[in-house]
Amino acid sequence: MPNLQTLLDKRATAWNAAQEFQGRGDDKSLTAEDRTAWDAALADVERLSKEIETEERHARLAAVDYSKVIAPTGGEPGDSDEDRQANAEAAYRSAFTAFTRRGMNGLDNEQRQLLMANQAEVRAGATSPGSAGGYFIPTDTLARITETMKAYGGLLGAANIITTTSGNPLNWPTNDDTNNVGAILAENSQITEQDVTLGQKTLGAYTYTSKLVRLSLQLIQDDAFGVEGWLARKLGERIGRAVAAHLATGTGSSQPEGLFTNATAGKTGAAGQVTSVIYDDLVDLQHSIDPAYRATARWAMSDSALKVVRKLKDGEGRPLWEPSVQAGSPSMLLGSPILIDNGIPVPAASAKSIGFGDINAAYVVRQVSGGQLMRLDERYADYLQVGFFGFLRLDGKPDDGSAFRVYAHPAT
């Protein structure tokens, strides 16, 4: 793998090439060939910047003397990579817990180094790196936050999640080739052309914050219960509520675009069904998506909509809803699993309250790795309190629109 200096040299070369094209005039005066080369140079700068960021963080971690903060067990030269990784994670988790309880002044030099090596800059105005950064939440603590988010917002657990190390705009190509088919070719005949049409989507990284939690110094010092575990649950619940609403019905303007926001209606209820749905409507909705998606499709609705659905029966008087009888297995409706997310609209006039489809194909979430926690020691010192808040960066957008349809209630 290229060393850091090599990457820096390559980025400088790419940047100089981009600047050279820019110096020739505005992009309208450039030839198509020059414009392509300019775009390629800028793309190289962005790619190399990400690689440099990774290398720099690796160098910071490598500079930490783990032997002084890792427990002696499993620290011998013959240990496996898994053991060394486990020891490093245990050391960081211990340092993070100490930071939560006592702040930076309560850490020894090795613990402080370990935290600083896992600090990310919070870009706000002219804030410099290190002056207002959050420390990455340890893996097991972050998992508790993520699970809390999934428990409240099921869509996050079913969507296609792309994890990146930075929050730069993320572009990827899209294609709908379903209307194009092959053909029989007669002998000695020229083959017919059929180009592939590509589109493009872009994901950003909105910053979700838990808002501020203030704890008394006495509570933190006494720590009758695990304060870091309590914080993880509280911060996760707050962030989860905000994320769930946006992943379901976000406008796409200064927030993610929700899966239900502009989804195509596979079935619209008859007049009078402003808060209800019937058996035939669910069958029509289920068959409104192509069979290619139905093998991995599921229902998505709020708990209020599930309450309506659970009362439905087939022609033999049997409930359509099939409750789960095994831990970890979802309840079923017409042979497909049910996902509950209270960010999805409840049954109401003109609302899209029930969805069906392959959510993993239909919706993509870009999440910047590493939820972070910040501790404010000085701001509330005169109250003998310490402030905490967590934040997580992500964005979401519908991807394959053919994979998902919704049931829409009539206006009246």
Residues 235, 99 share a domain: no
Return the higher-pLDDT residue of 207 and 173: 207
pLDDT of amino acid 72: 36
Q: Which domain holds residue 57?
A: 4-121
pLDDT of amino acid 165: 83
Residues 302, 221 share a domain: yes
Q: Percent of the chain having pLDDT more than 90?
A: 32
Return the higher-pLDDT residue of 89 and 345: 345
- Among the residue ranges 23-27, 48-52, 134-138, 205-209, the one predicted with the least confidence is 23-27
Last residue of a domain, one of 61, 90, 121: 121
Q: Considering its fold, how many domains does the chain have in total?
A: 2
Q: What is the mean pLDDT of the chain?
A: 79
For the entire predicted model, the pTM comes to 0.66
Q: Give the single-character DSSP code of 163.
A: E
Sequence-distant (≥ 6) Cβ neighbours of residue 55 within 8 angstroms: 3, 4, 7
pLDDT at 308 over 70: yes
- Among the residue ranges 206-210, 380-384, 398-402, the one predicted with the least confidence is 380-384
Residues 140, 45 share a domain: no
Residues 388, 240 share a domain: yes
Q: Is residue 131 part of a domain?
A: no
pLDDT of amino acid 54: 63
Residues 153, 15 share a domain: no
Q: Is residue 179 part of a domain?
A: no
Structure tokens at 270: 């008859």
pLDDT of amino acid 108: 79
Q: What is the pLDDT of residues 347-390, one digit of tens each?
A: 999 999 999 999 999 999 999 876 777 888 888 888 888 888 88
Return the higher-pLDDT residue of 94 and 341: 341
Please choose, from the candidates 207, 59, 232, the residue with its C-alpha nearest in 3D space to the C-alpha of residue 139.
232
One-letter-per-residue 3-state SS of 237-260: HHHHHHHHHHHHHCECCCCCECCC
Q: Is residue 311 part of a domain?
A: yes
Q: Is residue 238 part of a domain?
A: yes
Q: Average the pLDDT over 4-18 and give the result.
A: 73
Q: Is residue 174 part of a domain?
A: no
Residues 152, 79 share a domain: no
pLDDT of amino acid 115: 74
pLDDT of amino acid 254: 93
pLDDT of amino acid 396: 95
Q: Average the pLDDT over 72-84 and give the result.
A: 57
Q: Residue 9 is inside which H or E element, if any?
A: helix 4-22
Residues 253, 347 share a domain: yes
pLDDT of amino acid 301: 96
Backbone angles phi, psi at 197, to 5 degrees: -100, 120
Residues 12, 40 share a domain: yes
Residues 315, 274 share a domain: yes
Residues 396, 342 share a domain: yes
| H helix count then E strand count, the chain | 12, 17
pLDDT at 133 over 80: no
Q: Where are the beta strands (DSSP E) in 57-169?
A: 119-120, 134-136, 160-164
Residues 247, 203 share a domain: yes
Residues 264, 366 share a domain: yes
pLDDT of amino acid 160: 93
Cα–Cα dist 73/142, whole Å: 25
Provide the CATH number for the domain around residue 261. Answer: 3.90.1690
Q: Percent of the chain having pLDDT more than 70?
A: 75
